Amino acid sequence: MIPFLNLPGRIVRLFGANVSVSEVASGICLGMFLGFIPLNGPMAIILFLCFFLFKINRLAAMLILPLFKLLYILGVSVLTDWLGGQILINAQFLAGFWGWVTHLPILAYLDLGNTLVVGGILLCAILCLPVYLVSKKAIIIIRERYFDRIKNSKFVAWLKKMPLLNKITTFVVRVRSRV
């Protein structure tokens, strides 16, 4: 829980020049993939492994994940279920392909027979390029127009002045170094 004390500073650094725009946009896309599939299956674990294996901005993925999960809960799940049903059930020309995929040794365990998972992956595959490009452009605009305002805002100055926050952070660092 202690790393969350530095969260406002990390958010400000997210829009700083030290983080690649492509990494942030890739993190947003991974957050969308995680947000639009059920998180209780093996596909979520595979996507979560991508979180560690690829060079993305993890903070961007974790910050955007609740937004996409909220959209999923509010009705996108119906769309993903419908898309998955169209691909898995109604598209008869894909029946042989799905029979082959679901009997492969490793892919059989990825819930590719679940309409929510397949529909979520299909929806994310359709939206991935537009979300990537829009988020990349938005990060550039935010960096150009608002970064200095955020960096010099009263809220950030107030957070930097909090002595309790600094004491807790230094205490935790000391305790971790002893262990």
Rounded distance between C-alpha atoms, residue 101 and residue 107, angstroms = 7
For residue 1, pLDDT over 50 is answered with: no
CA distance 115 to 96: 17
Give CA separation, 178 vs 1, 8, 164, 174, in Å: 19, 27, 21, 7
pLDDT value of residue 2 = 53
Q: Where are the domains of the chain?
A: 2-178
Average pLDDT across the chain, whole number: 82
Per-residue model confidence as pLDDT tens digits over 30-80: 999 999 999 888 888 888 888 888 888 888 888 899 999 999 999 999 999
